[in-house]
Structure 1
């Protein structure tokens, strides 16, 4: 059966299957080779994710537990993309989503350990939160904001991004430092962010490019995969059924 790549995260992952989204583009990139499975939950932080991991990813049968994704399908990789909600400021309008930095690190460790135990052969790829455009956040509030202050700051997002990269090093897993990568573009606020937090099509393209590059570094690429069933180019028009024998 086709291997699977699971995408786990918050709204930036949940929205990744919209038109031009990084998840949809990833599914198209690996079409007929890998099933890309979306598990994004808008508004979630690492604390909440830990509460639902076993429900979202039921444990594989013991006889198939070294990489089985359910129904006999091996799992090639899991992306873990949290931090944007953890990094909300505790004294601002979305403070209920805040997770302290040390707990965030601990939670990421636990999430990585969960997947390494469930699917030892799978690549666990961490992705840091993106940078934040604080002015734009005031223009697109999700809740009442009587203080008139952004619920997230770029500085705080940067601290959580550093924590995410540190956890990746401690766990020996790959990481995409999206916070740093995006800010290499001088006009990143308009180019990559639609509301100061979520991604534009160009922002989604950055995530897609980085994910494909990291997976390739880890041995998961179009070149290393086999297409499911014969390609039309390999089917003899004079004896088409021969290709299926």
Structure 2
């Protein structure tokens, strides 16, 4: 059965199927081997995601999912005294919610690889340039320091549960000029940022034995079809 890779997260996941998005890259990468299923919810924090997780994944087959990415925390990390305080979730609750989300995913797909992705870093100057996203003080509603605390908390949950994890917060900051090369508004990803995340997810999937080499193509490649006897090439499909 053709496997699926489910992407569950906030706006960084919801936007991933846009042009140059990391989810679109994944769908193209696995076009002959796996289906990439989007479950992204812009603006959601882990409190809300934990409440809707069962419903969000209810329409996805319980038997075909090979891996799930979980990317929440950018909204949880909003400062509690700034313009997006309604999205803020305290750090201990954030970790508890992540565990609850992963428990739902594990119950639905016991053998699927669960990959936690930290929130990305925040370019505070980039956020201030979008005043509708801040508050009357002109201060950013997120800080990179706060995002880093949630990123470390995410990694801690992954380590305790034995899940794979992608430290997007640290990885992006390894590159000079990450603030504008990877982030278009101080938070959401540019095409280059999407490409970096795509590559990190592919590495994690490869570590979970879900590389292209490990997943067979769902139907024979054109080069493997005998044009004079195609029926033999497709015999197993015709018998199903």
Quickly name the TM-score band, shorter chain normalised: over 0.9
Counterpart residue number, 1:165: 155
Q: What TM-score do the two structures reach when normalised by structure 1?
A: 0.93
Counterpart residue number, 1:110: 100
CA distance in 2, matches of 1:219, 1:231: 22
Counterpart residue number, 2:65: 75
Counterpart residue number, 1:24: 24
* Partner-residue secondary structure (3-state), 2:38: strand
Between Structure 1 and Structure 2, how many residues are aligned?
235
Counterpart residue number, 1:33: 33
* Partner-residue secondary structure (3-state), 1:195: coil
Counterpart residue number, 1:65: none
Alignment of 1:57-72 (within 5 A): 57-58=57-58, 69-70=60-61
Structure 1 gaps of 5+ residues are 60-68
Task: Say yes or no: does 1:4 pair with 2:8.
Answer: no
Whether the 8 Å CA contact 1:33–1:222 is kept in 2: the answer is yes
Structure 2 gaps of 5+ residues are 236-240
CA distance in 2, matches of 1:134, 1:36: 32
Of the three residues 179, 182, 185, the one matched with 1:189 is 179
Q: Deviations over 1:44-91 (max 9, x none)?
A: 0000001111111228xxxxxxxxx42x75110000000000000011
Counterpart residue number, 1:150: 140
* Partner-residue secondary structure (3-state), 1:31: coil
Whether the 8 Å CA contact 2:102–2:114 is kept in 1: the answer is yes
CA distance in 1, matches of 2:201, 2:178: 19
CA distance in 2, matches of 1:122, 1:76: 5
Counterpart residue number, 2:238: none
* Partner-residue secondary structure (3-state), 2:187: coil
